[in-house]
Structure 1
Amino acid sequence: MRNRVVAAAGSAVFFVLAPGIVAGLLPWLITRWQVEPIWPPLRVLGWVVLVPSVAVLVSAFVRFVVEGFGTPAPVAPPEKLVVGGFYRYVRNPMYLCVLGAIVGQALVFGQPWVLAYALAVSAAFYSMVHWHEEPSLRRNFGNQYDTYRNAVPGWLPRLRPWQPPSASS
């Protein structure tokens, strides 16, 4: 129980510091939430992307606590490989949701500079995953991660959820 409480507190702090800054504070600094003229269906699309992105992001953070007994923060990684929930469709739902939140805001506020920011963030995310996270997951979880990585795409979600092999197989 204590581990989950510590993991929940750590995840909450990391949520504010990482996605809170990248998908909240920095887009706000670019836009100051000034709404510029934009074709109204694009603004609606922005909300359609933004709201579910934030909901799925919260769900992914919770998954690290309840399934992984840790946090998404590199300083307090999960004890178990997190492969449930949205992780059954795509290996990087948090990064995709942060990008969705940024792109959604760009459309809601009609701010092209936020789209440019999203491109820069996506390059940073890809680099982080490729050069740090994947090697770290391979070291920490070995064959379990390799099986998962081979079955679940990193950036374009599967249509059907992946079913992890059962412990008896």
Structure 2
Amino acid sequence: MTQTAGVPEARVARWSSALRSAGRRVTRQRLAVLAAVEQSPHATADDAATAVRAELPHITVQSVYVILADLTDISLLRRIQTPHSPARYETRVGDNHHHAICTGCGRIEDVDCAVGHAPCLSPDWSPGAHRMTIQIAEVVYQGLCDDCRSAAPSHQSSDYQE
């Protein structure tokens, strides 16, 4: 059984094509890393390494880190940096979505772009600022998920909005 078990064949074919288009060989290791991140969205590098090593026990943790970096460079993975956490990886790329993080349990959920198209935000430039053409906006929402709110009623506030 390979690490791509449980991943639709069409997805593996798309990854293979994208790897070739980026000048990379299609290897079991690369596909295993992609599958590990696909099956565990917002995985840390260590999470991905653990999953990959369950199927490919001889791969080194360093190799997984190198593959993660390479797959990020060629835009097959997205690296997200969340507050108070190691970098995380996901296969949802190319759509400028954002993330909501529960400050209680650490769960991370994807949040679609606030206005439906990139870059989601138009900056209010400070006087004298050197303006830029914004291509990507990184928004991180932080709060308590419903499970954590239910478990700790003292964190509920009257201004909670659904």
With the length of structure 2 as denominator, give the TM-score of the two structures: 0.29
**Who wins on radius of gyration, i.e. which is larger?**
2
Q: Which has the higher contact order (CA 8 A, sep 6+)?
A: 1
Relative to total residues, which structure has the larger strand share, 1 or 2? 2
With the length of structure 1 as denominator, give the TM-score of the two structures: 0.28
